[in-house]
Amino acid sequence: MKLSPTYRATFSIGNEAAARRVVDVLTEVFFEGDAAVAAFERPDGQWDVTLHFAEAPDQALLRELIATSAGNDIAANLAFDTVEAKDWVKASLEDLVPVPAGRFVVHGSHDRDRVAPNKLAIEIEAALAFGTGHHGTTRGCLLLLDHVLKQARPKRVLDLGTGTGVLGIAAAKSLHRAVLASDIDPPSVRVAAENAALNQAGQHVRVIRATGFAAPDFARTGPFDLVLANILANPLRQLAGPMARHLAPGARVILSGLLSHQAPAVIAAYRARGLVPLRHLRIEGWSSLLLRKAL
């Protein structure tokens, strides 16, 4: 499969509060999945903010957004370039070792023979989609999924914002039951389906393109006993109401993709819809939450 290049925009900003402010603005603007936004602190205390786009962004619009939220000096230093997906994604996966998370091990094809036979292996090929298992959010979700599966065997499972399909594949391989997986990004939908087939879970994992809970497939397949959603804090808050309406009584919900300081606001949004927090994992500055809907 020939992968398209990604388009990248980068800039630096002076402190954590400013970085959080501009990232919140950009996350809200690109809620529909047009971009992936990340911010990391440098040793000198400055913060680097990077956006990856599947399609060439409107540079003038992006500069205007950054100027509004961070100032003209920051916007003036905004840099654009193009990154070949085959260079940065495949190379990064080849440098990574298998990652254990409870009963699961996420690995690349180059480590296929290094997985212990008593583990559930999930092989993820290099692709332009997020969720290789090496990120703290994916690992947190897998650990919480392992915890849930020690107590229950949910019948109707949803992987919302599936990315590479890791979570949906993990649930399907554990339960040997149908899993609905969705993503708003067409390349992710394709990659997740390919990864499900690669992991002998293609007969169980059905991947659809959908925004939020708008597609009729959710009503037809639900109400769900288990929802896994590793996306971002702002979309998670916005989805609290629609998600609660698609949950069965006693359903478990695993949420991640949020920084630890964002967790209280997300918990509050779901508590207001009748979901009670059960567990909170913090890995590498990221939070993963397990909640349950009241019976």
* DSSP code of residue 128: S
9 phi/psi in degrees, rounded to 5: -125, 135
Burial of 150 (0-12, 13-18, 19+ CB in 10 A): exposed
Cβ-based neighbours of 203, under 8 Å, separated by 6 or more: none
Q: What is the pLDDT along the chain (295 residues), one digit of tens a residue?
A: 455 667 889 999 988 788 888 887 787 777 545 677 777 777 677 888 888 887 888 899 899 989 888 889 999 999 999 876 544 445 544 545 677 889 998 887 777 877 888 889 998 864 444 444 446 788 899 999 999 999 999 999 999 999 889 999 999 999 999 999 999 888 889 989 999 999 999 999 999 999 999 899 999 999 999 999 998 888 999 999 999 999 999 999 999 988 888 999 999 999 999 999 999 999 877 899 999 999 8
Beta bridge partners of 79: 10
What is the pLDDT at residue 219? 94
Place of tokens 């207001």: 272
Determine the pLDDT at residue 232: 84
What pLDDT shows up at residue 97?
A: 62
Domains and CATH numbers, the chain: 6-83 (3.30.70.260), 130-293 (3.40.50.150)
Can you tell me whether residue 18 is helix, strand or coil?
helix
Of 162, 149, 156, 165, residue with least CA distance to 198: 165
Place of tokens 């997740």: 192
Q: Enter the tokens of residue 99.
A: 């990652």
Distance CA(238)–CA(259), nearest Å, equals: 16
Please list the residues that pair with 37 across neighbouring strands: 51
Is 233 within 8 Å of 265 (Cβ atoms)?
Answer: yes
pLDDT at 89: 45
Count CB atoms within 10 A of the CB of residue 219: 11
Helices within 182-259 (DSSP H only)? 186-198, 216-221, 233-238, 240-245
